[in-house]
Structure 1
Amino acid sequence: MGCGNSSEGNGDDTDKGFFHRRPKVSIRIHGNDIPDLKSTSKHAPVVFVFGGPGSRKGRVVDDLVHMYGFKPLIVEDMIMRELPKKVQNVMAVQNTKALAQMLVDNPSVLDLEWVIDMIATELQLEPKTMHLIDLVPNLKFLLRCENFLQEPDYHLKRFCEKFPDCFALNLSIPEQKAVKEVQAHGAKHPDKMKEGGQSDEADSTRTQRRHAIYAQSVKGSLNFFKERNRLVVVDVSCGIGDLIWHRVSDFFGQDLELVPDKTVNTVIVFAFDDHAFQDLDLSRYHMEHLKLASLVDKKDAPLEKLITALCHKIDTSAPLAESFVVDCTETTLSRCPVGETKRQIKFFESENTYLDKFIFISNEKKDRSRKNSLYPVTFKAVASTENEVCLFSSDTNTDLCHKIADLMSKERDLTRSTHVMATS
């Protein structure tokens, strides 16, 4: 989160004996028929999202939903919900095992035409809402059905004729990279057995099989969009979710000029005196400095108005900025009373929390300890359920930390709800 620009810098960077270089996340656009997301055509744009094991597809879809207001359609969920209704004895298909057996006995019951029709029905219910279509299930028994995802040209062509403003986003990761990630997170030696008696070699083999099944399943769909000049390929080989997301966000926000609803994955450092965090290198952490007093008409504005102004500034900074240092001096925030707070906070850390934990900085050493953190100062961290992190100096009153984070979470949720109502 808060990773800033996704491209590599000019040459190698060295600071305090550590090498800091951001892996490059490249993007390729096949063709020039990507729809204008700002258009006011009959139907809002539809984006098919593809991504195999290790592609961070779940993270990208979730962030696109929260930042740009897309509605996700997860085909696997739709199939699991609707497929049992296609048999006479619905009660006999009440779990995944029963559904898998049903498809073994009668694989033709699952076909792409039926799935495409379900998607079209959902889109017609909200024609002005942008949708993300996650077409490829994770469950292997669904992918093995011969009539599903094989030779998709006819059905996808029919879909595109009905919904012309569509394209595909492919989060591409080579098989070798996916396998290496599994090995890197396993035991140091391939013969070392993990808990339960399973070896890392088994994990690697399973990942290879999953990748092979996935690649075969999406081959026809990707070729379809490529041949029609409607395919965007993101190289996600780096495996770093923050960098992958930021490149995707840049594409939607800058290349396609889509206006964000809100900034996501924000990291906000609150400073309550003039000398707080004065040694923090904002450029290194890609952070924007905000003077809270300049965001309101009156410096003695109450806490709620300060937070409202701050949230508005943060959300209008998207997609270029995700991380901020907020100077709270000359405002009532540093001396505001602490009222009762409903604890809707995901987690709270009171000590030994470093900025490097929340903002990605490439480093030769993988851990984030006092010895190699670029900014070796500990914070109190409060995070909302949507992965928005507020950081405070270690001597800040804990109740105040929760109060600020809670108000910010409520304000940003309110802004999002208001936008959805206005566009629906």
Structure 2
Amino acid sequence: MGCAPSMMRGIRVTHKEDKTSVEEFAQHKPLPYQIGAGIPTRPNSQKLVIFIFGGPQSQKGFATHELITQYDFHSINVEEIVLGYLPSRFKNTSPDQELNTASDIQELLKKDTGALSLDWIFSVIMGKLAGSMHQRFVIDIIPALSSMLRADSYSSEDESKRALQDFERSYPVFCAFDFTTALLRPTTSDKKENEKPEKEKQNLSSEMKTFLKGIDEADKGRLEKRMDAYSKCAAPFISYFAKSKRLVKIDVSSIPAAEPLTATILDVMHELRFTRSLQHNRVILFVTGESVFEHIDLAYYNMKRIRMTDVLSGKKDNESLASQIRGLKAYIERVSIPKENYAIIADALHHEAVSSTKRTTFVMQTRGFIDEYLVPSRNAPKPTVRQRLGMHAIAASPDETLLFVDPFPARLASKVGLIWSERPTSRATITPSPTGMH
């Protein structure tokens, strides 16, 4: 699967449009980490289970994505469990109470902090483990939603440890990853990118300057509250694994939030005696216009360009977003060849709500290179251009990643990812155009 970062060591690239511009493809240096002495040298059961912990800005989502795409792990996420299984549980116990949407569930959890129990969560996890053909699992037990973090079960240290002990009687845990972080300060490049020009600053009134400063402080305050809530809930679990010396601690405080952890994950997994999968990870790149291709070497990434209006049955006003995405996916599945990636010009997407209790598992905002997610073409040893792009990354499946390049709207990206990740039910109706592929 996506092994690009490890394959790119030491390659130097000269951009065609600027002969003096030289950029290193070299992989980022691994971060310092500590591996507990109590971690077994080989799997301790038929199902290998790893727990993963990390609060805001910890890049836990990226690390989970690496375990899935590089090492064949299957993800089990507590938020998906709650949003996917809690409605049916309440339908059996409280028939009069309907939970149709994620908002309904969150409202219930806010009003009733006892509605969510760790015993029930772990029983669902054990059911998933027992019924799955997968052998490796990464479990994210701490939710990001504040409504779930308020649950009484997560507030009790004794209950957290007892629930883990009960779980391990059936499924021993191999180890736990803890991505520790602090409030990360913006890097110099981030500051320059977000800074207003001097003339604009001078034109701002004192009231506007005070208002903008207040927004920054409010954002920081919300982030601190999220970190505090996460730390309180995660502490008993982390302490449990630290006591048995099965904790892998990685401090990500020293790197920018958008810096990938590929090199660190590679070193840690090598030390834990895991080998990477060499399967191809397909990338579907979504852009809002063609100007972005000035910064992307499509041949190097073995990426074919598709304009949505060329391959769908027309830009109909009554065609839903779900129909559009299913049709596009069906077209790609029909024409795709091995190791081929696709760049989608989204010129016909409908912005509309998607009614579902399910949430996309891994949505990561980053600024990086496309080759961090795929294996470049061996026929093109050097790209003609390589530039960091702002984008949202979604792991649609273990072997497929969706990248949405800025300024693609973040909410629309989540909706597309949600629809794309659906299990196939029926073939969508599409009318391919002979000019559909460029």
Q: TM-score range by the shorter chain?
A: 0.5 to 0.7
- Match runs of 1:338-349 below 5 Å: 342=336, 345-347=341-343
Aligned to 2:265: 248
Equivalent residue, structure 1, for 2:240: 224
Q: CA deviation at 1:159?
A: 1.5
Contact 2:29–2:263 (8 Å) recurs in 1: no
| Whole-angstrom distance in 2 between the partners of 1:77 and 1:164 | 22
Secondary structure of residue in 1 paired with 2:248: strand
Question: Which position in structure 2 is the counterpart of 1:46?
Answer: 49
For 1:283, the equivalent position in structure 2 comes to none
Q: Which amino acid aligns with 2:252?
A: V
- For residues 8 and 177 of structure 2, what CA distance do their matches in structure 1 show? 18
Following TM superposition, by how much is the alpha carbon of 1:228 offset from its aligned partner in structure 2, in angstroms?
1.0
Deviation at 1:164, TM superposition (A): 1.9
**Structure 1 residue runs without a partner (length 5+):** 8-15, 268-339, 350-355, 361-374, 390-424
Give the secondary-structure state (helix, strand or coil) at the position aligned to 1:92: coil
Q: Is 1:102 the counterpart of 2:102 in the alignment?
A: no
Whole-angstrom distance in 2 between the partners of 1:202 and 1:103:
25
In the alignment, is residue 124 of structure 1 matched against residue 130 of structure 2? yes
Task: Summarize deviations over 1:187-231 as a string: whole Å, max 9, x none.
Answer: 55893767xx98233222221111111111111111111111111
CA deviation string 1:225-281 (max 9, x = no partner): 1111111011222136564122112211x21221222267799xxxxxxxxxxxxxx
Pairing 1:66–2:82 present: no
Give the Cα separation in 2 of the matches to 1:5 and 1:229.
33
Note the C-alpha offset of 1:147: 1.6
Q: CA RMSD in A?
A: 4.4
Structure 2 match to 1:174: 182
| Closer, same or farther: CA 147–94 of 1 in aligned 2, 3 Å | same
Q: Does 2:166 correspond to 1:150?
A: no
Structure 1 residues 60 and 180, CA, compared in 2 at 3 Å: closer, same or farther?
farther
By how many angstroms is 1:19 displaced?
A: 11
Contact 1:182 1:204 in 2 (8 A): no
TM-score normalised to structure 2 length: 0.54
Report the number of matched residues: 283
Inter-CA distance 75–24: structure 2 relative to 1 (3 Å threshold)? same
Provide the rounded CA distance (Å) in 1 between the counterparts of 2:72 and 2:60.
17
For residues 243 and 86 of structure 2, what CA distance do their matches in structure 1 show?
A: 31
1:183 Cα shift? 7.6
Cα deviation digits, residues 153-190 of structure 1 (max 9, x gap): 11112222322242111122113558999988755589
Q: Which amino acid aligns with 2:46?
A: H
- 1:133 offset after TM fit, Å? 0.2
Q: State the alpha-carbon separation in 1 of the partners of residues 189 and 221 from structure 2.
A: 13
Distance 1:184 1:54 in 2: 20
CA contact (8 A) 1:2 1:266 kept: no
When normalised by structure 1's length, the TM-score is 0.55
Structure 1 distance, partners of 2:165, 2:8, is 34
Matched, 1:33 2:38: yes
- Deviation sequence 1:28-58 (CA, Å, 0-9, x none): 3353121345x4x542210111111112221
Partner amino acid for 1:34?
Answer: I
Tell me the distance in 2 between the aligned counterparts of 1:88 and 1:357. 49
- The 2-side partners of 1:181 and 1:150 are apart by 42
Identity across aligned pairs (percent)? 21
Amino acid at match of 2:31: S
For the residue of structure 1 that corresponds to 2:209, the secondary structure is coil
